[in-house]
Structure 1
Amino acid sequence: MTHSRPLDVVIVEDEPHLAGLHREYIEQNFHLRVVGIAASLEQARALISEHRPRLVLLDNYLPDGQGVELIDSPLLKSYECSVIFITAASDMETCSRAMRSGAFDYLIKPVFFQRLQASLERFMLLVNAMRQMKVVDQKALDRMFNLPAGDSASAPSTKGIEPNTLEKIKRFFSDYPETHWSVDDVVDVVGVSKTTTRRYLEYCVESGFISIEMLYGNIGHPRRLYRKCTDSGS
Structure 2
Amino acid sequence: MKNHDIEVLIIEDDLRIAEIQKRFIEKIEGFQTVGIAASYEEAKTFIELLQPDLLLLDVYFPDMNGLDLLKETKQQEKQMDVIMITATKEIQKVQEAISIGVFDYMIKPVVFERFKQSLVRYQEYHRKLVEFQDENLHLTQQQVDKLLRKEVSGTGPANDKTYLPKGIDPLTLEKVLVFLGRVNTGLTAEMVAKEIGVSRTTARRYLEHLMSEEKIAANLAYGTVGRPERVYIVK
TM-score normalised according to structure 2 size: 0.64
Alignment pair present for 1:228 and 2:235 = no
**Residue type matched to 1:122 in 2?**
R
Alignment pair present for 1:138 and 2:145 = no
**Residue type matched to 1:139 in 2?**
Q
TM-superposed deviation, 1:11: 0.2
For 1:79 and 1:154, locate their aligned partners in 2 and report how far apart those are by CA, in whole Å. 31
Q: Deviations over 1:82-133 (max 9, x none)?
A: 0001111111110111111111111111112222212111211111112222
Check conservation: 2:117, 2:165, Cα contact below 8 A.
Answer: no
Check conservation: 1:204, 1:210, Cα contact below 8 A.
Answer: no
Aligned residues: 184
**Residue type matched to 1:228 in 2?**
V
Alignment partner of 2:218 out of 211, 214, 218: 211
Structure 1 residues 206 and 120: alpha-carbon distance in aligned structure 2, compared to 1, 3 A threshold: closer
**1:68 match: secondary structure:** helix
Matches within 5 A, 1:1-234: 3=3, 5-73=4-72, 77-133=76-132, 134=135, 135=137, 136-145=139-148, 146-147=150-151, 157=167, 204-206=207-209, 211=218, 227-229=230-232
CA RMSD of aligned residues (A): 3.6
TM-superposed deviation, 1:48: 0.6
Moved over 6 A (4+): 152-156, 199-202
For 1:38 and 1:24, locate their aligned partners in 2 and report how far apart those are by CA, in whole Å. 16
Instruction: Decide which moves more: 128-137 or 64-73.
Output: 128-137
For 1:128 and 1:67, locate their aligned partners in 2 and report how far apart those are by CA, in whole Å. 26
Structure 1 residues 126 and 109: alpha-carbon distance in aligned structure 2, compared to 1, 3 A threshold: same
For 1:82 and 1:50, locate their aligned partners in 2 and report how far apart those are by CA, in whole Å. 16
For 2:66 and 2:151, locate their aligned partners in 1 and report how far apart those are by CA, in whole Å. 25
Structure 1 residues 108 and 131: alpha-carbon distance in aligned structure 2, compared to 1, 3 A threshold: same
Check conservation: 2:218, 2:233, Cα contact below 8 A.
Answer: no
| Bigger-Rg structure (1/2) | 2
For 1:81 and 1:226, locate their aligned partners in 2 and report how far apart those are by CA, in whole Å. 41
TM-superposed deviation, 1:155: 9.3
**2:27 match: secondary structure:** helix
For 2:168 and 2:16, locate their aligned partners in 1 and report how far apart those are by CA, in whole Å. 25
Check conservation: 2:207, 2:232, Cα contact below 8 A.
Answer: no
For 1:9 and 1:153, locate their aligned partners in 2 and report how far apart those are by CA, in whole Å. 22
Identity of aligned residues (%): 27
Check conservation: 2:7, 2:52, Cα contact below 8 A.
Answer: yes
Which residue is 1:191 aligned to? none
Gaps of 5+ in 1: 160-168, 172-196, 214-224
For 1:108 and 1:8, locate their aligned partners in 2 and report how far apart those are by CA, in whole Å. 22
**1:89 match: secondary structure:** coil
